[in-house]
Amino acid sequence: MILTNTPKTDKERAEHFHLVSIRFACLLTTKQDPMECERVQQRIEKLERQLMACNPSQLFTKMFENRAGEIGSELAMRYNYNTGRITLWRNTPLHQSGTVFQLRASI
C-alpha cells in the first residue's frame, strides 16, 4: 500500500498528498460507492490532473497502473494510463449486513 511508504521524491510526495486526501474523503462519505460522492470525485480529479501534468512516479505506476492497489484497509484504486482515469471502490463484500452466527457448544 502506497500510504505506508515514506515518499522520497517530489512526485511521490505530491501523489501521497492526493491519496491521503482521497482516502479521508472516502472515510467521511456516507455513500456505499465512494465514486458517487462529490468530494471524492473532486479529489480524484485533482490527482488525475497531477498525473497528467507530471507522469506518475515509479512507485505509483507499480501500485496502481492497470491493477487494483489499496489506499486503505477497505479501499482499492486503479489508474488507467491510456485514458488518464482513476477508478475507486470499496474492497469489502457487500453482504456484511450484520449477520451474526451463534456458536453452540455440543455437550
Q: What is the pLDDT of residues 49-61, one digit of tens each?
A: 999 999 999 989 9
Identity at 54, one-letter amino acid code: C
Q: What pLDDT does residue 73 have?
A: 77
Mean pLDDT for the stretch of residues 12-29 = 92
SS3 of 19, please? helix
CB burial of residue 38 (10 Å; 0-12, 13-18, 19+):
exposed
CB burial of residue 70 (10 Å; 0-12, 13-18, 19+):
middle
Q: Where are the beta strands (DSSP E) in 50-102?
A: 69-70, 75-80, 85-90
Mean pLDDT for the stretch of residues 14-20 = 93
Place 2 in a pLDDT band, splitting at 50, 70 and 90.
Answer: low
Mean pLDDT for the stretch of residues 7-26 = 92
- Residue that wins the pLDDT comparison between 90 and 94: 90
Q: Which residues of 24-33 are buried (b: 16+ CB within 10 A; e: fewer)?
A: ebbeebeeee
Q: What pLDDT does residue 96 have?
A: 47
Provide the percentage of residues in the chain whose pLDDT is more than 90. Answer: 56
Cα 42 off chain centre by? 14
